[in-house]
Structure 1
Amino acid sequence: MDQANIQGRGVSPLTKLDPNLTVREAYQVQLLTIQKQLEAGQKIVGKKIGLTSVAMQNLLGVDQPDYGHLLNGMVIENGEEISFHKVLQPKVEAEIAFVLKKDLAGPRVTEMDVLQATDYVLPALEIVDSRIADWNIKLQDTIADNASSGLYVLGGKPLSIDKLDLAQVGMVLYKNGEIMNTGVGAAALGHPATCVAWLANKLFEYGITLKAGEVILSGALSAAISGEPGDHFQARFAHLGEVNVRFSNKVDQ
């Protein structure tokens, strides 16, 4: 994975190098990679949840989501332009982001626990990006690759979770002013808070606790859309507001 970032091009899937790689081993690879980034000065600021839709789970032949770590170097400001030098083969997803006010520790975290531990929610764009060439991935590959994490953008304004029904929040995703797709909060495992509860309980297996102040990207509300130099993405959420980002049209910035 490090070589992909250094060379600026994707690498072979880990499952091609080791067809017997297990999910647990893939998470260990992820943790080792994150540890290297922490030693290089990065800080963990949250987590992301992937594969929350039935369609994506069916695509990879799995029956549960996966997760990755968010680092401070992944943060893009709302409306900012992203240099294409920072990405390899980006895809953009619209999600609801949770910001916690209390720690969440598994193994028996419920949706209600998540709602009570949430300070506020925001609209978000996640720029997923694979270090695996041509997105030729199996579940173990994307897990080892930090759940294909790339960058993320938070927008709108903080809104208390008791102000809306997250399962019913509608979203419209635009690319260059054209509607690409629509979604609703229930697209993420029936309720975005259910995804966060799954995450807290899954992390228990690795001795990790969600911390107050962390940002949790709860899962895509619709299909990911490929981004190219010059593309502008905008997502509008009912009640939560808007979030947008633009890719530079210069690939060598």
Structure 2
Amino acid sequence: MDRVEAAAEYLFELRDHRRRVAALPPEIAPRTLAEGYAVQDVLVQKLMDRFGSRPIGYKIACTSPLAQQALAVDAPFFGVMLTHSSHPSPAIRPGAEFTVRCAEAEFGFEMAADVPGGVAYTAESVKPFVGAVLPSLEIVDHRYHDWKTVDAASLLADNAIHGAWVFGEPVRDGWRDLDLAAHATALIVNGTTVLPGSGAAVLGNPLNVVAWLANELPKFGRKLSKGDRITTGLTTAVYLAEPGDRLEADFGALGRVALTLSGD
């Protein structure tokens, strides 16, 4: 078994048993971002085989300056979203399904057309390829004692520490007239605690994240395609959820999504 396969098998076992470690063993830990993505590819295939799942798009991690500073990187990284862990709102999931339950209110997007490679996209130039905005909520889930002490290659190897995605109704009309950078969001916990946020927290504008992904995927022989869905990173402060919590992500005119973490 080579290092890439061994790392993917190790991460798969950690997920399977809800086990946490300080770091990947040095003999299998990915040494570069490219090697991390190679591990991610094998891990994602294992997850698809286990759950009879398929890809639906991408989650983007490390889209805030704070996260990038903590990991000593100057750019985000991506993971793959799968059907078995993507749920329409309102959703109910067992709290015990996750090792860590970091709840994030995130702007989601659905692509209306394939995005050709060979172009340096910006928020404005990628916008015509986007068909809809989706209010969404991601549960970030990782296998490490402290993600801030683990390098980016090991985090992205673990499918960019993606746990689950809850999405609302796609908004296809009117969203292009909104200033998504200034658009207010909120994460509401158990109907009382409110963590405010905005699109500015996500690389200054969530469409900047879509442009980044359109520019990044061709480096790995991929491209953004029609129908792909993207979730773009947290817009509020971090909340570590517990079983029994009811979480709502409020996007005002763009809608609201809800996830209950049962005590099962």
TM-score by length of 2: 0.88
Compute the displacement of 1:19 (Å).
6.4
Counterpart check, 1:158 vs 2:168: no
Structure 1 counterpart of 2:7: none
Q: Output the CA distance in 1 between the equivalents of 2:66 and 2:117.
A: 27
**Counterpart amino acid of residue 127 in structure 2:** L
1:193 aligns to 2:207 (yes or no) = yes
Inter-CA distance 68–105: structure 2 relative to 1 (3 Å threshold): farther
Aligned partner of residue 63 in structure 1, secondary structure: coil
* Aligned equivalent of 2:79, options 47, 68, 77: 68
User: How many residues were matched structurally?
Assistant: 250
Q: Map of 1:134-149 to 2, 5 A cutoff?
A: 134-135=146-147, 136-149=149-162
Alpha carbons 2:36, 2:154 under 8 Å: kept: yes
Are the structure 2 counterparts of residues 153 and 143 from structure 1 closer, same or farther at C-alpha, using a change threshold of 3 Å? same
* 1:35 Cα deviation from its structure 2 partner: 2.7
1:151-206, Cα deviation, whole Å (9 max, x unpaired): 01112552433232211210111111233421111211111111111111111111
Runs of 4+ in 1 over 4 A off after TM superposition: 15-20
Q: How much has 1:71 moved relative to structure 2?
A: 0.5
Gaps of 5+ in 1: none
Pair 1:24 & 2:34 matched: yes
Give me the whole-angstrom Cα distance separating, in 2, the residues matched to 1:83 and 1:238: 27
- Bigger Cα displacement from structure 2, 62-71 vs 15-24: 15-24
Gaps of at least 5 residues in structure 2 are 1-10
Pairing 1:1-253 to 2, within 5 Å after superposition: 1-14=11-24, 16-17=26-27, 21-40=31-50, 41-107=52-118, 108-135=120-147, 136-160=149-173, 161-250=175-264
- The separation in 1 between residues aligned to 2:151 and 2:98, in whole angstroms, is 20
Q: CA deviation at 1:97?
A: 0.4
For the residue of structure 2 that corresponds to 1:228, the secondary structure is: coil
Q: Verify the 8 A CA contact 2:106 2:235 in the aligned structure 1.
A: yes
Secondary structure of 1:29 counterpart: helix
Whichever residue aligns with residue 12 of structure 2, its letter is D
Native 8 Å contact 1:81 1:248 kept in 2 = yes
Q: Which moved more, 1:95-104 or 1:30-39?
A: 30-39
Write the letter of the residue equivalent to 1:74: S
Q: 1:233 to 1:20 in 2, by over 3 A?
A: closer
In structure 2, distance between residues paired with 1:130 and 1:11? 10
